[in-house]
Structure 1
């Protein structure tokens, strides 16, 4: 076993922090172990969903459903026995999870609701610029009181009203949609349920517990809020660097100067630790609470059995694709918005993980009428040999994926 030194750095801004040195393989092992993507499943059932969302902070939501929606795809790769119904139950029956912007459109724990109060307050202030909104909001309240949850198609409002949300969405000349999104951004409404891509809204006070709904902002100081959100994002990916990254998306006002100060303070407070990885120029950072897992990897106490998993296109692990390129040697572009003639692979292609490596990518669709999972293509990375062991693992992965999608038949247009 290679001896890996851990020493105390005296170079700012790492003063007082444990500087950890990892090989590339050890960094990958740590990430995959943290995410529960190697060895025995770390998470199981509905409780496993909650535990995983608590670990990563949020799941990025995307409504496109080719072979499962993004959040469902994230969970199927990690949660033993996961079904799409589990996520729907936690969102719309148990109300333990809630649709709310975090890293763009997202799903968060209901218990984290108070930490986003500053954004709801900003939305309320934003709404003051549109006095005509209040009359429309009153109509929405009256409709909900009489009829219950509604979508923009259920509400016909007079006139055109052009508006842009203070949080994320933008409304066009659709008054009903605009007012629903505004009331959602202020926290007065939540998403009650979805039918396909259509959102149905209801009053938040029916579903969010009063001690959460009416809680004041827990972190009044802006810098403390930034620290909370940066910690959350580092924990979501596992390792992150202090540089521009898609992993920081939708943290309002977090410019490089603020981010540098956040990292400096988090290091000084020993809430994060600096990590160097062989042949990587930039330092990475992990949560202090993850140091025992890093120590286990350093001591070579982890030798998990390989699994084969299909990874979601907006998976937490992939939030910084430059980082994934450096650590895994895997270049990934989600080509869903790329014109067909310019795509290298396909419309909705999922990275394929086997053991400690991302070995390729797969294009898989679901024919719902026939209940058939169609494996359209599999592209292996250069140098990957589809051994008997790999093919066996891949077959098991595809069979689990068919079960996850409710398919009884698998049709392969390429060799598996």
Structure 2
């Protein structure tokens, strides 16, 4: 296991010491990847438990927000995933770990961030006139939910980054909490006045910053199972001055985890009490993971728990890529054992580049590829570059069966 530096801040005396394997299994169970999936709760249940599902524009096998419930529930219908996320007022988009979809119940918990953006007075350096801002709100009030194009245009030019004043204004309103996105049309955000789209019981709540952060830390701890202070900071991208005052009374308990410190030593961490109440047992999921999956979106944590150094290479020049454009780690037996860079050509799933840690994982790889192909409507799999060509006969035989 790759060790990373322990958190330098002092921690209370641990209630227990966990082995690295125990911590890994606790993390997998907490993320819904160990044990029987809760199919009755479905996609909404996955979202409520994780607390945040990251959004991204890249779509090769599928978009990342689709891959997250797929990894946990299996081949749930893709239209059902979209319906569970958008259009029913059960979730909203906001800045959490990154741009994420969040359960609508978390609307009050991000009041501290909305206030911070409002106090700052601008959005990522963009300025907009008060008149344009008021015009956007007035148009939404008069006409109901609209896309930025329907509001008056998303961009000044064809360049993706060259936002129009209207787009700057509505994104600013989203950050401030005057506007909310609870729906998408053809991947375009649909903006609505928050006072009209967020349920009254949630919209009317006015929580202190400490209360917001304390609840988010507790939720992140439950979603992670066991976590260092740095892990908890990263989950919703909190600031140290926000987290530190509430960590001790967040409901999480201090532990130590063997192997998480420098040179394999124990490191202080925090655990969800429910995660310690029963040993993590059950069936491990075999699946391909989005690089934006919350099990692995924190790269230092991924290295610490799984010993895998994984980076998204989509924005790396082609000649410098090691594992491929959108390499997806292969999870099986509770470990990350390889990578697949997928693509689709008609009704064929193409594994452009594949690597495995060991020949004993060939069957798991074939299982993951066949299941992914069926889920996205492909009836065949073609493997292109294979890191060890000696594996090809066995892999292709398994894929053909």
**What is residue 42 of structure 1 aligned with on the other side?**
37
TM-superposed deviation, 1:410:
3.0
User: Alpha carbons of 1:147 and 1:399: their partners in 2 closer, same or farther (altered >3 Å)?
Assistant: farther
TM-score w.r.t. the length of structure 1 is: 0.78
TM-score w.r.t. the length of structure 2 is: 0.81
Residue 17 of structure 2 corresponds to residue 20 of structure 1: yes
Work out the CA distance in 1 between the residues paired with 2:22 and 2:127: 57
Q: Do 1:273 and 1:287's aligned partners in 2 also have CA atoms closer than 8 Å? A: no
Q: Which has the higher contact order (CA 8 A, sep 6+)?
A: 2
Aligned pair count? 369
Per-residue CA distance 1:147-184 (angstroms, 9 max, x = gap) = 54332323337x98xxxxxxxxx985511111110121
Q: Do 2:108 and 2:206's aligned partners in 1 also have CA atoms closer than 8 Å? A: yes
Which of these residues, 351, 354, 377, is aligned with residue 378 of structure 1? 354
User: Alpha carbons of 1:156 and 1:196: their partners in 2 closer, same or farther (altered >3 Å)?
Assistant: closer
Q: Do 1:366 and 1:405's aligned partners in 2 also have CA atoms closer than 8 Å? A: no
Work out the CA distance in 1 between the residues paired with 2:232 and 2:312: 16
RMSD after superposition: 3.1
**What is residue 258 of structure 2 aligned with on the other side?**
277
**What is residue 342 of structure 1 aligned with on the other side?**
320
Which of these residues, 348, 355, 358, is aligned with residue 333 of structure 2? 355
Work out the CA distance in 1 between the residues paired with 2:91 and 2:243: 28
Which of these residues, 105, 116, 123, is aligned with residue 111 of structure 1? 105
Q: Do 2:180 and 2:191's aligned partners in 1 also have CA atoms closer than 8 Å? A: yes
Q: Do 1:191 and 1:202's aligned partners in 2 also have CA atoms closer than 8 Å? A: yes
Work out the CA distance in 2 between the residues paired with 1:54 and 1:142: 32
Work out the CA distance in 1 between the residues paired with 2:191 and 2:212: 28
User: Alpha carbons of 1:141 and 1:246: their partners in 2 closer, same or farther (altered >3 Å)?
Assistant: closer
Residue 212 of structure 2 corresponds to residue 212 of structure 1: no
Runs (5+) with no aligned partner, structure 2: 1-9, 387-391, 396-401
1:132-151 alignment runs, 5 A limit: 133-145=129-141, 147-151=143-147
Which of these residues, 284, 300, 306, is aligned with residue 328 of structure 1? 306
Per-residue CA distance 1:355-385 (angstroms, 9 max, x = gap) = 1221111011123xx233212221012xx12
Runs (5+) with no aligned partner, structure 1: 1-11, 161-169
320-329 or 332-341, which deviates more: 320-329
Per-residue CA distance 1:196-249 (angstroms, 9 max, x = gap) = 5432322333432111122212xx1x4444333332333232221124787255
Residue 55 of structure 2 corresponds to residue 61 of structure 1: yes
TM-superposed deviation, 1:96:
1.3
Q: Do 1:275 and 1:286's aligned partners in 2 also have CA atoms closer than 8 Å? A: no
